[in-house]
Amino acid sequence: MSRQSDKLADLFFDSLPYSEETLNAKILVKKRLAEMAQKLPFESLASAYNSLEKLAVLAGYTPEDAFRWSSPAKVIGTKGGARRFRKGRWLAYCIALTCVFAFTALLWTVFYGATKDKEFFIALTGFLLSVAAVALLVVAWRRSVKKTAGAKFDANAYLALREQSDRYTKRLLNSVAVFVAAIFVFEMTELNLYFFGTSKAAALAETVLSNYLFVAIPFFFVIKNLLILRLLRLWILLPDRRALRSHLFGIIVFSALYWTLCMIVMILLRKGITYPANYVFYAAVVFLCLIALYDLTIRKKLCVKNVVLNKGRVAIVLLAALLAGAFFGMHRDTWYTQPYINSVPFVGHDAYGIAYNEENGVYTLTTSGADFTILHLTDIHLGGSLFSRKKDLLALKACYALISHARPSFVVVTGDLCFPMGVMSMSFNNSAPVHQFAAFMRNVGIPWAFTYGNHDTESLASMKKEDLEEVYKALSFKTSGNLLYPYVQPRITGRNNQLIEVRNPDGKLNTALFLIDSNAYTGEGFNTYDYIHDDQVSWYETEVRRLQREEGGQISSLAFFHIPLQQYKTAYELYLAGSDQVTYHFGSNQTVLYHMFSLSEYDSAIFDKMVELGSTTGTFCGHDHYNNASITYKGVRLTYGMSIDYLAMPGIAKHNEQRGAELITLHPDATWDVKQIPLAQIEKD
């Protein structure tokens, strides 16, 4: 019977404009009808109370009240309701933001006051201004709310407000959970710094204040969602106040207990935890899963519509999450080639002395008196990702085949060891390839050095120049015993400009090896390559002249860099034209992707300086993966290195004729020669 009496009340009240008064009247009418239904049959009840006026009188109201309820006057429609809601929402945003500012200013005021810092009055002024701003905004918000308190809304406006109430109820509960989690994670992080870092309370306080944004952001959302939900409840009595309070209390207690338990577990297991931050991350993932489970189950008792799927929004969120996950995943170190690297055997070679000058960063290699051989590798292009794993293995195996075949005294890599090019290698990581190749060469056991290429420190790479330099120093000679990376470098343009002196047993200079950074890009356009700058040329000249003075005459030197000089193109074009200005030695250059040469638009002064000084009789570079010609022009032999690349150039993994290395032989009388070692020939043999 009560169900039928409820339907009788709904029949008259559901068509009325919504207001708090009509909602309370409806509840009271249903109560009275339920009482009457105990005494009268439903037919008599329906006959006796067949109008809104009679139902109003039954509940203790007057017929005039019933007329006022049904009157269309002062009823707010969908647009009017949306306009009022937007105004209140923006005021809530402003209040929440100024509250965060005020609390932050208060913390800094207390800190500066405790440390007696001169900025105390600035912080205090900021706090007082923020409090004044909060007060003014609250007054404006209350006036805005007061104007519409008790307003009547038509059916569509009511449904729209009910939808907003559901939305901000869910947002409030979730933001409270995140806020509590942020407090505990923040506290765990800062206490960890306190106990295992600095012990000074002032330093801890300053660190806390500097990292406060981690907590301030969820704090802002809690205030904002609370104010907006408060605004909505002044118009429609949803959700139920008691139920909302119990849910908020439950969320706070659960979140606090969960993170307290996590903190206790971490304290108990702290000796066995190497990276606490990883476990905090795992705990956060579990926490978010538990909150999501609550959202899908228990929370539905509080909302009219608990879960509303907006397909477009879900698709955008999933796509954004996928892109963000891919972006961060492509920055992570991956070690898919490590099992192969661990299995690489030592390659025997002639022993020689290595000394390092701490003052100028120059390595000196003292030969045994026999020929000293240098294997030139270039454009290895390790991606360091799951996507590039197969090609990375091919590249490392190619390097090992060339090294074990040549058994050189020394290895020089002229750039592009890494390929952190995003979708092309599915990696932005240039850290893992460096560690992997360094481990590979440690197992091989042959000393090596390198120049940077344009891809080694790409703009989106996980490590910038400064970070990668620290990695190379950590992996260099004092640690590895075979990577000759200078701990001290000349203060000139470039990421690594290095001089290595190869000397005979009597101490006389055999050959000076100049490893020069040809830099990466000029920033003037897409793939606009840089060049060897004038200050680098000056450094080169200074070092040559210094060695000439010390040796008492002309010296022999070779230069290694990544991006070819413009003279590489000039010499090859003269060779094709049959000119007697050049001498051809071996190899060929190929037209790939509409061009044969990828050069800088700037003509570096280094070549003319080499010709002028007469010291450098050979240069070696990479960059143009299909080019491997060696031609002498103006007394300088310009040699393109055979590349290793399986990854960077489209389709290059299927081509093998350009793949290989060069073996440079330094004779005791300071003369030298070079020969190509094609990988295809080694594999054939």
Token output for 248: 């908020």
- pTM over 0.85? The answer is no
Torsional sign, CA 448, 451, 454, 460: positive
Residue type, position 292, single letter: A
pLDDT band at 199 (very low <50, low <70, confident <90, very high): very low
CA distances from 255 to 173, 226, 286, 334 (A): 11, 18, 12, 34
Task: Tell me the sheet residues that pair with 592.
Answer: 595
E strand or H helix that includes residue 586: strand 582-586
Contacts 24+ apart (CB under 8 A), 122-129: 126/101, 127/102
Helices vs strands, H then E, count in the chain: 22, 16
pLDDT tens column, 535-575: 999 999 999 999 999 999 999 999 999 999 999 999 999 99
Buried b (16+ CB within 10 A) or exposed e, 499-517: bbbbbbeeeebbbbbbbbb
Task: Give one DSSP letter per residue of 492-515, joined into a string.
Answer: SSSS--EEEEEE-TTS-EEEEEEE
Q: Is 218 exposed, middle or buried (0-12, 13-18, 19+ CB in 10 A)?
A: buried
Token output for 311: 């397909």
Highest mean pLDDT (candidates 225-239, 258-272, 580-594, 602-616): 602-616
Question: β-strands 636-640, 630-633: how paired?
Answer: antiparallel
Rounded to whole angstroms, the Cα distance separating 514 from 501 reads 9
Task: Please answer whether residues 662 and 674 qualify as being in contact, where contact means their C-beta atoms are separated by less than 8 angstroms.
Answer: yes
pLDDT tens column, 331-355: 676 778 889 999 999 998 888 999 9
- Closest CA relative to residue 19, chosen from 91, 76, 58: 76
pLDDT tens column, 426-454: 888 888 899 999 999 999 999 999 999 99
Task: Tell me the sheet residues that pair with 661.
Answer: 677
Rounded to whole angstroms, the Cα distance separating 476 from 511 reads 22
- Closest CA relative to residue 334, chosen from 384, 278, 387, 391: 384
pLDDT tens column, 353-405: 999 999 999 999 999 999 999 999 999 999 988 888 899 999 999 999 999 99
Task: Tell me the sheet residues that pair with 374.
Answer: 410, 664
Question: β-strands 353-356, 448-451: how paired?
Answer: unpaired
CA distances from 439 to 16, 331, 479 (A): 78, 20, 12
608 or 262, higher pLDDT: 608
Task: Please answer whether residues 141 and 95 qualify as being in contact, where contact means their C-beta atoms are separated by less than 8 angstroms.
Answer: yes
Percent of the chain topping pLDDT 90: 53
Go through the domains of the chain in sequence order and give each one's CATH number.
Answer: 2-70 (no CATH), 75-308 (no CATH), 338-684 (3.60.21.10)
**Which stretches does DSSP call E strand in 328-447?**
353-356, 363-366, 372-377, 410-414
In the prediction, which pLDDT does 67 show? Answer: 81
